[in-house]
Structure formats: C-alpha cells, structure tokens
Amino acid sequence: MIQPGLTVALDRWLAELQAIGGRAAQTQTAYRRDVTGFLGFLQSYDGDGLGRAALARLTTRTMRAWMAHERARGLSARSLARALSAVKSFVGWMAERDGFDPTPVLMTRSPRFNAKLPRPLAEDAARAVLETVELQSADDWVGARDTAVVVLLYGLGLRISEALSLRGADLPLGDVLRIIGKGGKERLVPVIPAARQAVEAYVRVCPYELEPDAALFRGVRGGALSARQIQKVMAATRAQLGLPASATPHAMRHSFATHLLNAGGDLRAIQELLGHASLSTTQAYTAVDTARLLEVYEAAHPRAE
C-alpha cells in the first residue's frame, strides 16, 4: 500500500500549487488523479510498500513501463502528456525536499500528439449565434441571460469561467472590466456597448435580487449559473443554425480573437485581452500565420532592425 508519508506529501504539494500558482479546482483534481494513478502503478510494479524513498529509485525504465501501461489501457497521447507533466512536477518537488536526483523522471520524453487548433466561427455565423441564443428558452429572462453570457464571450473574449465568475458587485458594467484569469492573473478588458447593453437587458428582467457578493448570472432556481447550461444552450443553437460541433462557448472566444485580428488588431494587444502569457499561444488561438507573427516580432523586438 502507499505509505501515509507519501499521501501527506501529495496533499502538501497540491496545497502549495494552489497557494502559489492559483491552480483552478479542476486542474487540482486532474493533478491528484494523475499522480495517484502513477503511484498506484508503482505499487503494483514494485510489489512492495510504496514510500517516499521509492521516488528516489525511479529509473528511465520504470517511467517507460508506466507510460506503456497507460497507453495500453487506452489513455490518449494528450492525456498521458498531461499526466507526465504532473508526475514530473510532483517528483521534482519531492526531490527538493528529500535531496535525491530526479533526472530520470524529468528527462522522460513526453509523447507526441497533434495539437488541435481552435476553430473560430465565421463572422456571419457568430452574429447568427448571438441572434439565436435567446430563442432556445421559453422564459424571456433566461433568454436574456444566455445572450448576455455569450455576448461577453464573443464581445470581450472572456473564458466561460470568467464570465460566470462575475458578481453583483460588478454592476453596472463600466468602460473596463477587471478579470481574474488562469493562475490568478489579472487583466483589464474594455467593455463594448453591446456587451453592456446585453447585461443591462438581463438585469432588468432577472427575477432574483443580484446581491453584490453573489453570482451575477443565475440558474432557474436562483443559484449560480453553471457552464454546463451555457454549453447546452450553444448545442441547441448550433443545431438550429446547422453549425458544426466545434461551435462551442469557447469557440466564441476564439472567434473574438480571430475576428479582431482580421480587422487589423495588434497581436500583442489581443494577447493582453485574452490573458495569454505567451504570444505563441495567441498565435495558435487566432490561427495567425508565421508571416504575421514575424511582422509583430520585427516591430516590437528591441533588437529587430
């Protein structure tokens, strides 16, 4: 069995990630599952009680055996890459505290996989979504709510979690909205009139009191609106419009970035609006070509001539 000392260490590692990195709850859950699965494999692989010292004995062969085991049970290359990243982070953290060499783990190569590029909607399709979302509910206030959320995704480029994290205290929306994104990173997002109007329309008909410390967007029973509900509304909307399965709430954020870029927006400005740490992430997000990226690089890099 896995010894208590290792379980305690796992809990402390996760707590430290949360305190320092501000990892989202879903990320924490995935990391725990990945590392626990890895430790479970080690337990069966070695056949002895699994303690902290076992991590110091890890070899490249052991890591390869674990990866082969995971692929054999049907884990995708993408999921295995994520699990390996979690394992490397945990083992590296343990190595700093127990004083062993984590090189065999840290040098393990991640499996290759083809990253799925985002698929933004065409501009006319995005407009059609905004006009059709409200039709998916018989209740006027629910339709106004769903429209307001989707307008925030497309008009401001918010993640769905960011839109649903807004509180009553954010009302009325001003010219700029302060957003806390992934990793606790803060950014300021300009609020376009259409987004302000959509939220105001929802607030006027919402049957619940929108207290400052409570969720701005409410479910039909008054609780905080779930992302799943917006996903269902988008599914119904794309079915009505004949759009592909890629027309998800997150695709509206992709579309915001791509359409802004196509209209002449600066790639670095879009990076800031999206809250991306890396320009390369924004490049993939907007499907911008390498030539455009080089233009930005040459214009912004202090050593470019």
What distance in Å separates the CA atoms of residue 145 and residue 217, rounded to the nearest whole number? Answer: 7
My answer on whether 77 and 183 are in the same domain is no
My answer on whether 280 and 182 are in the same domain is yes
My answer on whether 197 and 273 are in the same domain is yes
Query: What averages of pLDDT result for each successive group of 10 residues across the chain (305 residues)?
Result: 77 82 71 89 75 84 92 87 90 90 90 68 90 92 96 90 93 89 80 93 95 94 93 93 89 84 71 67 56 54 48
- Within a domain: residue 172? yes
Query: CB under 8 Å to 243, separation ≥6 — which residues?
Result: 121, 125, 129, 237
Of 159, 196, 218, 254, which is the active-site residue?
A: 159
My answer on whether 143 and 279 are in the same domain is yes
Q: How far is CA 292 from the centre of its chain?
A: 25
Burial label for 15, CB within 10 Å (0-12, 13-18, 19+), is: exposed
pLDDT at residue number 53: 80
My answer on whether 55 and 144 are in the same domain is no
Total domains in the chain come to 2
What distance in Å separates the CA atoms of residue 286 and residue 50, rounded to the nearest whole number? Answer: 46
My answer on whether 146 and 263 are in the same domain is yes
Q: Would you put residue 242 in left (φ > 0), alpha (ψ -120 to 50) or beta?
A: left
Q: Would you put residue 75 in left (φ > 0), alpha (ψ -120 to 50) or beta?
A: beta
CA angle 278, 282, 283 (to 5 degrees): 110
CATH number at 138 reads 1.10.443.10
Active site annotation includes 196: no
Active site annotation includes 250: yes
Active site annotation includes 276: yes
CATH number at 32 reads 1.10.150.130
CA angle 137, 152, 178 (to 5 degrees): 140
My answer on whether 131 and 274 are in the same domain is yes
Give the tokens for residue 257: 């970035």
- Within a domain: residue 266? yes
My answer on whether 235 and 174 are in the same domain is yes
Query: CB under 8 Å to 172, separation ≥6 — which residues?
Result: 196, 200
DSSP letter, residue 75: -
What distance in Å separates the CA atoms of residue 148 and residue 159, rounded to the nearest whole number? Answer: 14
CA angle 260, 179, 246 (to 5 degrees): 50
Of 23, 145, 238, 276, which is the active-site residue?
A: 276
Give the tokens for residue 292: 């455009």
- Within a domain: residue 116? no
Give the three-state DSSP class for 299. Answer: helix
Give the three-state DSSP class for 192. Answer: coil
My answer on whether 37 and 101 are in the same domain is yes
What distance in Å separates the CA atoms of residue 8 and residue 90, rounded to the nearest whole number? Answer: 12
Of 182, 187, 259, 268, which is the active-site residue?
A: 182
Give the tokens for residue 56: 């110091």
Query: Can you give the pTM of this predicted structure?
Result: 0.62
By the 8 A CB rule, do 41 and 62 touch? no
My answer on whether 91 and 133 are in the same domain is no
Q: Which domain holds residue 152?
A: 123-300
My answer on whether 58 and 201 are in the same domain is no
pLDDT at residue number 27: 77
pLDDT at residue number 21: 60
Of 145, 218, 253, 254, which is the active-site residue?
A: 253
- Within a domain: residue 51? yes
- Which of 73, 106, 139 is the C-terminal boundary of a domain? 106
Active site annotation includes 285: yes
Of 69, 71, 167, 250, which is the active-site residue?
A: 250
My answer on whether 296 and 150 are in the same domain is yes
Active site annotation includes 301: no
- Which of 106, 141, 165 is the C-terminal boundary of a domain? 106
- Within a domain: residue 112? no
pLDDT at residue number 152: 94
- Within a domain: residue 305? no
- Which of 76, 106, 136 is the C-terminal boundary of a domain? 106
What distance in Å separates the CA atoms of residue 288 and residue 266, rounded to the nearest whole number? Answer: 11
- Within a domain: residue 115? no
**Torsion from C-alpha of 251, 253, 259, 262, nearest 10 degrees:** -100
- Within a domain: residue 117? no
By the 8 A CB rule, do 46 and 58 touch? no
